[in-house]
Structure 1
Amino acid sequence: MSTPAPSIVVGVSGGVDSSVAALLLKQAGEPVDGLFMQNWADDGSGDCRAEDDRRDAVAVCGMLGLRLHFRDFSREYWDGVFEHFLAEYASGRTPNPDVLCNREIKFRHFLHAARALGAGAIATGHYARVEHAGGRHRLLRAVDRSKDQSYFLHQLGQEQLSVTRFPLGGLRKDEVRAIAREAGLPTAAKKDSTGICFIGERDFRDFLGRYLPARPGEIRTPGGAALGEHPGVFHFTLGQRGGLDIGGRRGFGPEPWYVVGKDVRDNVLYVDQGHDSPWLQSTTLASEPAHWVAGAPPAREFRCTAQTRYRQPDQACSVRIDDDGGLRVRFDAPQRAVTPGQSVVLYDGEECLGGAVIATTDAPLERRLDTSTE
């Protein structure tokens, strides 16, 4: 007798969120299976958590009586996410691998694997909501704004959203933990994972050094004063304070130093004192071609709010779409440390409209460096 196909396959990562998502679907009476994705091959560092997570996924599905499938997407992750991640860092930009990981792995290869198992839908433990209204699927922020992950999901489209469930979208994180404890799930007290998508917490400088050769260079102020040496500009991002090893300098005040610019061509890292240094401020940005959740933008020019980093409060702005599909975003108030390579994500209230990778800004040092390379 053949085993019936599941109607839903839930991505079970071995964490508490995906565990509760699986539990809620099971309690709803859905024919549900679990699927554990292996997305990072052991790099010899001993830091990979995949085996621990796999054991926890097995324990959760065993307790819930779910069939658990295993798929190795490590090659797809390397080709579709990690090579881009390294290329962006090598160019001096700061990529966001979680956005690309969601698009390429969790909502492409995982979706294909679920369909191959006969499922009509997938589910994950993301904090977000999907609503069908007006003939289309809308991606909405989670009820728990502090955990909302729509920023990382803005590359999803109508096809993915039509077959995706987010069981945790209407819950707060403390409610999710309580559900896990009451059910006796083995992941109830497990810490949330952090760090690079599927790679986890690492000494970031050491990790990047495995793939990008060190290229030390000068640390300077925007005025040209030499302050020290950096191990490679790709180790740093705009607005970063830690890891500079500058300390006190004769002729300068006691305020801490922050990264305010990176000159990849001349291998110079620029720093300035003060969290709100004017060298970190910008009011406009230009992006690469945008992705729209609905399949098209709401208008050629419109008002909305935006985030240029995860968990940032809403920033009011005006948006204009260029002929190549890129965005011109002008903010009502100056923004700190808007970073090329990161994503600008647009919202209309609770609805995520879409977003794009930031290409350039009008921050003073970035404008000066751009002019010097012309």
Structure 2
Amino acid sequence: DPGKDQSYFLHAVDRSALDDVTFPLGEAHKDWVREQARAAGLPNSDRPDSTGICFIGERRFDDFLATYLDVEPGPMITPEGAQVGQHRGLIHYTIGQRHGLGIGGGRGQPGKPWYVLAKDTRDNRLVVGQGSDHPWLFARGVVTEAPHWLIDPPAPPLRAQAQVRYRQQPVPCHVDPANEHLMVNFDEPVRAATPGQSLVLYDDALCLGGAIIARPVPDRAAEAPIEVSAAP
């Protein structure tokens, strides 16, 4: 069931552990499973899906993170270096985020929404820009670290499909394994490839493995006037 597939999160499972694992519902769609449960009279057959993070309870995810991580407000700037606001702490934002920034289109190009473009962890700056098609939002490739394979490590060059976030449509790519890193070049620019998140590789429905995004290779119209450090 593509809508419920969890392989993006499970790509880092130890390969040897999969030798003794079976997934009896692995080929089933959720609607069919509910029908079978309903026919069997199971009381949870119509229970709503759970989509949250089970171990944090009813807390907001921001509040959960703030319990364990330092939160320091800082400047919100454009790629040109102009300050347009204050952020509440970098942990509260993700690349490509639109809502919750607290700045309106009137501070730049009226009517164009603002998006998170980058997080400068060295100087505690949040880089934002206007428009869902802003060049900073797109990467033509990524450099990854800590690759983990569910197949025998392939010899280059490898053609595969890459997914940089859950439920993203996989994009055809060229993968060049190099020591402890992977250089992944997308056939078309990918939006919001975020350092620290997983890049997972597929051969159609088969999950090949994945790695952690260290940095995107920008697909920018021009290089930025400011320097951005985005350490994982």
Fold agreement, TM-score > 0.5: yes
The aligned amino acid for 2:146 is P
Kept in 2: contact 1:214–1:232 (CA 8 A): yes
1:236 CA drift (Å):
0.5
| Counterpart residue number, 2:206 | 351
1:274 CA drift (Å):
1.1
After superposition, the C-alpha distances for 1:289-347 in whole angstroms (9 at most, x for unaligned) are 211112x22223211111111111120100001122x1100001011110111111111
- Secondary structure (helix, strand or coil) at the match of 2:55 reads coil
2:172 to 293, 305, 316: 316
Kept in 2: contact 1:347–1:354 (CA 8 A): yes
| CA distance in structure 1 between the partners assigned to 2:108 and 2:140 by the alignment | 31
> Any stretches of 5+ residues in structure 2 without a counterpart?
none
| CA distance in structure 2 between the partners assigned to 1:190 and 1:362 by the alignment | 43
Root-mean-square deviation (CA), in Å?
2.3
| CA distance in structure 2 between the partners assigned to 1:269 and 1:222 by the alignment | 10
| CA distance in structure 2 between the partners assigned to 1:181 and 1:193 by the alignment | 18
| CA distance in structure 2 between the partners assigned to 1:202 and 1:249 by the alignment | 33
Kept in 2: contact 1:276–1:336 (CA 8 A): no
Kept in 2: contact 1:308–1:345 (CA 8 A): yes
| Counterpart residue number, 2:191 | 336
The aligned amino acid for 1:303 is R
Q: TM-score, normalised by structure 1?
A: 0.57
Kept in 2: contact 1:195–1:202 (CA 8 A): no
- Secondary structure (helix, strand or coil) at the match of 1:165 reads coil
1:243 aligns with 2:92: no
| CA distance in structure 1 between the partners assigned to 2:54 and 2:230 by the alignment | 36
| Counterpart residue number, 1:220 | 77
Structure 2 counterparts to residues 159-238 of structure 1, below 5 A: 159-196=16-53, 198-199=55-56, 202-238=59-95
Shift of the 244–251 alpha-carbon distance from structure 1 to 2, 3 Å rule, reads closer
Structure 2 counterparts to residues 19-98 of structure 1, below 5 A: none
- Which structure has the highest helix share of the two? 1
- Secondary structure (helix, strand or coil) at the match of 2:227 reads helix
Kept in 1: contact 2:139–2:191 (CA 8 A): yes
Higher relative contact order (CA 8 A, sep 6+): 2
| Counterpart residue number, 1:369 | 227
2:115 to 251, 258, 268: 258
- Which structure has the highest strand share of the two? 2
After superposition, the C-alpha distances for 1:243-279 in whole angstroms (9 at most, x for unaligned) are 1011243442211111001111111111111112111
Query: Percent identical across equivalent pairs?
Result: 51
Q: TM-score, normalised by structure 2?
A: 0.90
After superposition, the C-alpha distances for 1:188-233 in whole angstroms (9 at most, x for unaligned) are 2222222335335642222222222331111111112211111101
Kept in 1: contact 2:71–2:91 (CA 8 A): no
After superposition, the C-alpha distances for 1:341-365 in whole angstroms (9 at most, x for unaligned) are 1111111122111001111111277
| CA distance in structure 1 between the partners assigned to 2:12 and 2:71 by the alignment | 33
- Secondary structure (helix, strand or coil) at the match of 2:26 reads coil
| CA distance in structure 2 between the partners assigned to 1:365 and 1:192 by the alignment | 44
| Counterpart residue number, 2:13 | 156
The aligned amino acid for 1:187 is N
| CA distance in structure 2 between the partners assigned to 1:200 and 1:193 by the alignment | 12
| Counterpart residue number, 1:297 | 153
- Secondary structure (helix, strand or coil) at the match of 1:288 reads strand
1:306 to 159, 162, 166: 162
Kept in 2: contact 1:155–1:291 (CA 8 A): yes
| CA distance in structure 2 between the partners assigned to 1:340 and 1:251 by the alignment | 27
| Counterpart residue number, 1:85 | none
The aligned amino acid for 1:229 is Q
**Greater Rg, structure 1 or structure 2?**
1
